Amino acid sequence: MDSTAKNAETPEETQQDQTQIHQNPLPLLPTASISLSLSALIPSHFLPPKQFAAASSNKLKIPSQISSLSHFSLSSSLPQPKAFFKSTISANPLQNTLTLNPLRPSNPSGAAALRRAAVVWFRNDLRIHDNECLTSANNDSVSVVPVYCFDPRDYGKSTSGFDKTGPYRATFLLESVADLRNNLQARGSDLVVRIGRPESVLLEVAKAVGADAVYMHREVSHDEVKAEEKIEEVMKDEGVEVKYFWGSTLYHLEDLPFELEQMPTNYGGFKGKVQGLEVRNTIEALDKMKGLPKRGDLEPGEIPSLMDLGLNPNSTLSQNGKTAANASLVGGETEGLQRLRNFALECKAKPNNGSKDGTNDNIYGANFSCKISPWLAMGCLSPRSMFDELKKSASSMISAASNKKNGGTGASDTGMNWLVYELLWRDFFRFITRKYSTSKQQSYAPATACTGAAA
């Protein structure tokens, strides 16, 4: 009687037990589902040896329902997470979703990964050819945003009452910026032009497009170095990397046989130190460039006029109303490269043999700087490209000079020595300015133009 009473169940208790069973099903199927999912995802060498061996030796018969559930657990059991712009981690660790923010590899030599967007700040490097800054940004990023800023601090009157930037230089600059935009557009890109302080403009552009880095060439003057420091400061607060490059001299800053702090303060000492240094190869101009990013809806902007910069357009005219001689120079990389080629052809056609009294009154001498220097100063030409172009012409002239019976002195007759001499002087002044313009430099010594050490 007692056992029968114990085994007897009331209808209410039976109904409760069945309800409990339906609410809490046995964990057999989910467990099998998850284990199958992990075994399909985790390579064999991550599993314990003994357990793996035991599992492989026994043949398990799994119902088709469980097999289908294991597939279901990988594909449909969990909802797909919604992509969020700044998120690089999937909500489900078993799923690999494509992220909108590509990850940079921790090992640069490993698998390649691109930045989402990079901003290239053009300064005194208004060219496509031999531009390491632009080329690196294009190779590193999915999209590239070239930017030029007309800084209001560079215009207006100085404390002495003179124009900080005169109308002739400003006109040449505007033409160079317009030519740069045309060259970028021809390669599938564009130039974003703004009037404003670079630290504000670049930050606004970087935030609008979600840029990972700002690429720029280093400059040498005190104000330019201070601008770099301000940009680095504001970008650091936003987590944007600043990448610097050097491209304004014949010899690269990193190739100098001395630290910049120990640079000789006279030209002779500098020339003696750098003699024999190799000139780096020029970087070929890009044929095709990454376009502007779609995010941010950036407007390229209009190139300002002289009036927009606070200058009088009539100041470029002489008293008789005609265009002044200085205004006949056309700015831009296209014009600069053509001038360089013409100069190289002149060097070929008219080698410098000098006159009997030792004077040089032909294409070399004082006229050299007047022919090329404006484009070199604006960065429409690079010193290395000039060196390469003249070196090509010099090779044939050296050969011709060496075959003369009463010929001159070989390489010195070709003008190459004069070219290197001029570019070395330019290097000296830029390096010495950089040495004393950094805010970290505490002691100052006067730079001299003494050539006593020059042989």
Q: Was 402 annotated as part of a binding site?
A: no
Report the Cα 111 to chain-centroid distance in Å. Answer: 20
Contacts of 70 (CB under 8 A, 6+ apart): 32, 33, 36, 37, 40
Tell me the two tokens of residue 395. 């090779």
- In order of 13, 14, 26, 31, 402, the CA distances from 20 in angstroms are 11, 10, 11, 20, 106
Is 77:94 a contact under the CB 8 Å cutoff?
no
What is the SS3 assignment for 244? strand
DSSP per-residue codes, 10-50: -HHHHHHHHHHHHHS--THHHHHHHHHHHHHHS-GGGS-HH
Question: Shortest CA distance to 383 belongs to which of 116, 153, 19, 130?
Answer: 130
Q: How far apart are CA 75 and CA 219, in angstroms?
A: 55
Beta-sheet strands, E only, within 151-254? 192-195, 213-217, 241-245
Q: Which helix (H) or strand (E) holds 118?
A: strand 118-122
Q: How far apart are CA 23 and CA 17, in angstroms?
A: 10
Question: Shortest CA distance to 293 belongs to which of 117, 104, 87, 86?
Answer: 117
Q: Was 380 annotated as part of a binding site?
A: no
Q: Was 428 annotated as part of a binding site?
A: yes
Q: Was 231 annotated as part of a binding site?
A: no
- In order of 59, 100, 124, 247, the CA distances from 131 in angstroms are 65, 29, 11, 7
Q: Let me know if 346 is exposed, middle or buried by CB neighbors in 10 A (0-12, 13-18, 19+).
A: middle
Q: How far apart are CA 196 and CA 231, in angstroms?
A: 13
Q: Was 429 annotated as part of a binding site?
A: yes
Instruction: Give strand pairing partners of 127.
Output: none
Q: Was 369 annotated as part of a binding site?
A: yes
Q: Was 370 annotated as part of a binding site?
A: yes
Contacts of 339 (CB under 8 A, 6+ apart): 371, 372, 375
Q: Was 424 annotated as part of a binding site?
A: yes
- In order of 48, 56, 57, the CA distances from 60 in angstroms are 19, 9, 10
Tell me the two tokens of residue 88. 């690089």
Q: How far apart are CA 153 and CA 287, in angstroms?
A: 35
Q: Was 29 annotated as part of a binding site?
A: no
Q: Was 160 annotated as part of a binding site?
A: no
Q: Was 373 annotated as part of a binding site?
A: yes
Binding residues for FAD are: 369-373, 422-429
Binding residues are: 369-373, 422-429
